């Protein structure tokens, strides 16, 4: 499971590092006032950027187990780990519901 967590961290860093470059290339390729040749070059440059640098390639994963399903975004934990930490009182402001 550790490999998945490390891969996720690496992908998130790549997105942050390439964010400005991708934004510039995307703007240039979609700007209709520019010449078609410049727009095509910008599109080719956008296609050359690494696949893992795309924000849509990031999948939310549990920071403890690396599980990719049932993730609570606020705590970045899967539902089972969230439950275990909440029952142990390790999450401030989270209580077991009773009614």
Over the stretch 50-70, which tens digit does the pLDDT of each residue have?
Answer: 888 888 888 889 988 889 999
In the chain, what are the domains? 1-58 (1.10.287.1480), 60-99 (4.10.830.10)
Residue 31 · residue 39 · CB < 8 Å:
yes
Over the stretch 12-64, which tens digit does the pLDDT of each residue have?
Answer: 999 999 999 999 999 999 999 999 999 999 999 999 988 888 888 888 899 88
Residue 55 · residue 24 · CB < 8 Å:
no
User: For the whole model, what pTM was predicted?
Assistant: 0.70
């Amino acid at each position: 499971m550790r490999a998945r967590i490390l891969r996720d961290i690496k992908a998130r860093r790549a997105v942050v590092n390439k964010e400005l470059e991708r934004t510039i290339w995307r703007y240039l390729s979609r700007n209709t006032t520019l010449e078609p040749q410049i727009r095509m070059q910008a599109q080719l440059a956008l296609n050359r950027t690494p696949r893992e640098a795309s924000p849509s390639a990031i999948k939310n994963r549990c920071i403890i187990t690396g599980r990719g399903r049932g993730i609570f975004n606020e705590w970045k934990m899967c539902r089972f780990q969230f439950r275990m930490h909440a029952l142990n009182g390790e999450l401030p402001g989270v209580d077991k519901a009773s009614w």
